[in-house]
A and B are shown apart, each in its own frame.
Chain A
Amino acid sequence: MYRYDEFDATMVRERVEQFRYQVQRRLDGKLNEDEFKPLRLKNGLYLQLHSYMLRIAVPYGTLAVRQMRMLAHIARKYDRGYGHFTTRQNMQFHWPKLVDVPDILSELASVEMHCIQTSGNCVRNITADHFAGAAADEIEDPRVLCEIMRQWSSFHPEFNYLPRKFKIAVTGSPNDRAAIKFHDIGIEAATNESGEVGYRVYVGGGMGRTPYVGLLIGKWVSKEDILAYLEAVLRVYNEFGRRDNLWKARIKILVNALGADEMRRQVETEFGEIRASGSLTLPREEIARIEKYFAPPAFEDLSDASEEYEAELTRNERFADWSKTNVTRHKQPGYAIATISLKELGMTPGDISHEQMDGLAQIMDDFGYAEIRVSHEQNMVLPHVRKKDLPALFARLDALRLGTPNAGLITDIICCPGLDYCDLANARSIPISQAIQDRFADLKRQRDLGEIKIKMSGCINACGHHHAGHIGILGVDKKGVELYQIQLGGSGAEDASIGDVLGPALGPAEIVDAVENIVETYVGLRQNGERLLDTVRRTGVQPFKERVYAAH
């Protein structure tokens, strides 16, 4: 993975001191809260319901062992012993004290970590496919471009006061595991007619109160031109994005007001100018230099079949269950990708304790080539595991309560922190997700239902991606009562779609029954092993609606 040199390290260190001075000026009264707020947000520091919250960047979701140990240490020393992984592959600590924050930043800097641009109206931490570098279907490792963009976007002098936040995601594979079409910019590696690898650039996707699927603006952009192209998109947005209304300030509103053709024309004009100046042309040598950091580990020459693995599958039913959902094919024979569920039944999705983090660090050393990933689905991924190590790995995970066999199943719920933590939320989301997990706890049933992605947000800002859920749940507040609206048929994958609202919002006591009714309707209608999402797309939402609201 990427390693800092003296330039990167100096920058992060200086950023800590810069922030220390900003905090000091706030305490001295030289900055008012209105002026201080965007400055602290650009360093990931929020003021929430009960305390400050600190959001730490995990660039493209990749963590090294010493970074994992540092997160465990921070959870222990400065927080309440646990942290929370988010849908943007970041880690959040919900209980730090303001006075400790500069010291936390110093500790993070010692392991090449920081909170730079994890919030605020700037280019945020860039996310990527969590199977990067391991997936069998990959055209290229998306993290190379992510790191190039990380450098380009960090402290970009022109784009630090954009109309609104700006999120970029990259997939190196045609199978989109990074939800790129729900980002301000989504980038997909693609080959052109002559077989050269470049990028498709989707612009204007997003969730929130006005969800849009991103439109293909850059039909194919070469590697050396990609930064110039992105700079063109950002400049058009910076100049013409709306600044008069917070709710209409994202680039999706601009793109959809102009239409794809006019947006493309404006971007191309700007792109032509920037490209002609040549200053952002990316030299081949620079790409090659960054690629070296992401070279695959020294894989052993193994046959794809592993006797140890096969034997354990027949011997150990729990291991077999886990393997079915949490093990994915690797591009290297004899290796596998292991998904570690942070969705243990009854626990808060994405939460992880300091003991679990330390345990995972040891597992990374022992089985995982010292690397781990955070997925936007709030799970973790060991990208490179020898198949023959999977039984031992599972036993170790299980002992840490990290062996839940539910990746991609109905209990693998994406869920924002909701009203239990967040001052934006209208309703609690964690207890609802726990109640759904509880209802569908029977693994046989979960497995029979197959892939069902439930995504839940406690407010319209959609941190829990409810628009893209096969079943999406949105918490709303109606006259002080927490209610929940259901959407059906969303997808964050390559077949991106926004779910349709099923009907009037339901109370917390009804929502689990409603999910059950949806699932039972699906079971009655499904054909030839199709997924819930496929059934909804085939039949429309009507039969589901009828069943859910039959009792009303």
Chain B
Amino acid sequence: MPLIKGGRFVEDAFVTVGDGDPLAPGAKPIVSFERFRKERNALLERNSPFGVRLKPSDDPALLHDDIERISVVAIEFPTFRDGRGFSRARVLRSRLGFKGEIRAVGHFLYDQLAFMVRTGFDAFEVPQTFREEDFQRALKEMSYFYQPSVDGKKTIRELRATR
């Protein structure tokens, strides 16, 4: 699937692997949370970048001890109506201090992109029909925000104080 990161289409350096699939030497895999928990030591010993794919029910706090070794956390949206991923991403950024890539995967809508960016997502697996300019447009629909989040944007209250 095409990947948008930093606002543009990029080559995906990572490859999502199934739970039974072998890890090709030199490949940068994204593994399920269950596989990560089972094969944690082997993954860490590879000494090469890897990612973990969370289902919305997986608690990212359990990644805490290894957070600095993980390059990508992919968060699954089984349907666009399931909003748990927004909290998962935000907790990853604000509480676990995760600095790597948070990637949205699964079913989500154009209309959710701005919320995703606000809660810490910076990469998006999008359908073939998706256009780069749609992404830019989605982020420009709203200029101001009332509440603090993890995107570093000033809140309206902060802007009011500086005018």
> What residues make up the interface of A, taking CB atoms closer than 8 Å to B?
5, 7-8, 10-11, 14-15, 17-18, 21-22, 31, 35, 38-39, 121, 151-152, 154-163, 235, 238-239, 243, 273, 277, 279-280, 286
Contact = CB atoms under 8 A, between A and B. Distances in A.
Interface string B35-77: 0000000000000000000000000000000000000000000
Closest 9 CB pairs of A and B: A161-B83, A157-B118, A157-B115, A279-B148, A151-B146, A7-B156, A158-B86, A18-B141, A238-B87
B149 A157 contact: yes
A33 to B, nearest CB: 13
B83 A238 contact: yes
A39 B111 contact: yes
B28 interface: no
Interface in B146-163: 146-149, 156-157, 159-160
B83 A152 contact: no
Contact of A238 (B86, B114, B144, B157): B86
A161 B149 contact: no
Contact of B94 (A11, A152, A154, A277): A277
A152 B146 contact: yes
Interface string B130-152: 00000000000111111111000
B94 A157 contact: no
A11 B142 contact: yes
B115 A280 contact: no
Name A's interface SS: helix
A286 B144 contact: no
A152 B142 contact: no
A162 B83 contact: yes
Among B86, B94, B118, the most chain A Cβ lie within 10 Å of the Cβ of B86
B82 interface: yes
Given A161-B112, A238-B84, A279-B148, A7 B90 contact: no
Contacts of B159: 7
B32 interface: no
Given A35-B109, A273-B95, A157 B86 contact: yes
A235 B149 CA distance: 13
Nearest to A283: B157
Contacts of A17: 141
Given A11-B144, A21-B141, 11 more contacts: A14-B143, A38-B81, A155-B145, A156-B147, A157-B115, A157-B116, A157-B118, A158-B87, A160-B112, A161-B82, A243-B82
A157 B146 contact: no
Contact of B119 (A11, A121, A157, A277): A157
A390 B141 CA distance: 48
A158 B80 contact: no
B142 A286 contact: no
Interface in B2-19: none
B157 A159 contact: no
B146 A155 contact: yes
A266 to B, nearest CB: 12
B147 A161 contact: no
18 contacts: A7-B144, A15-B142, A31-B109, A39-B109, A121-B81, A151-B147, A152-B146, A155-B145, A157-B116, A157-B147, A159-B86, A160-B112, A161-B82, A161-B112, A235-B87, A238-B84, A238-B86, A277-B94
A18 B156 contact: no
Contacts of A15: 142
Contacts of B114: 157
Interface of B: 80-84, 86-88, 90-91, 94-95, 109, 111-112, 114-116, 118-119, 141-149, 156-157, 159-160
Given A121-B81, A239-B84, A280-B148, A7 B119 contact: no
Contacts of B145: 155, 157
Nearest to A151: B146
A286 B148 CA distance: 15
Contacts of B142: 11, 14-15, 18, 155
A158 B90 contact: yes
B87 to A, nearest CB: 5
Contacts of B80: 35, 161
B89 to A, nearest CB: 9
Contacts of A21: 141
Contacts of A162: 83
A419 to B, nearest CB: 28
B86 A5 contact: no
A361 B143 CA distance: 34
A160 B147 contact: no
B33 to A, nearest CB: 15
B83 A160 contact: yes
Contacts of A152: 146-147
Contacts of A151: 146-147, 156
Contacts of A22: 111
A18 B82 CA distance: 22
B147 to A, nearest CB: 5
Contacts of A277: 94
Contacts of B84: 238-239, 243
Contacts of B109: 31, 35, 39
Given A10-B144, A157-B149, A5 B160 contact: yes
A160 B87 contact: no
A152 B32 CA distance: 35
Contacts of A8: 156
Given A158-B86, A238-B86, A10 B143 contact: yes
A15 B87 CA distance: 23
A238 B87 CA distance: 7
A445 B152 CA distance: 64
Contacts of A39: 109, 111
A239 B160 CA distance: 32
A160 B115 CA distance: 8
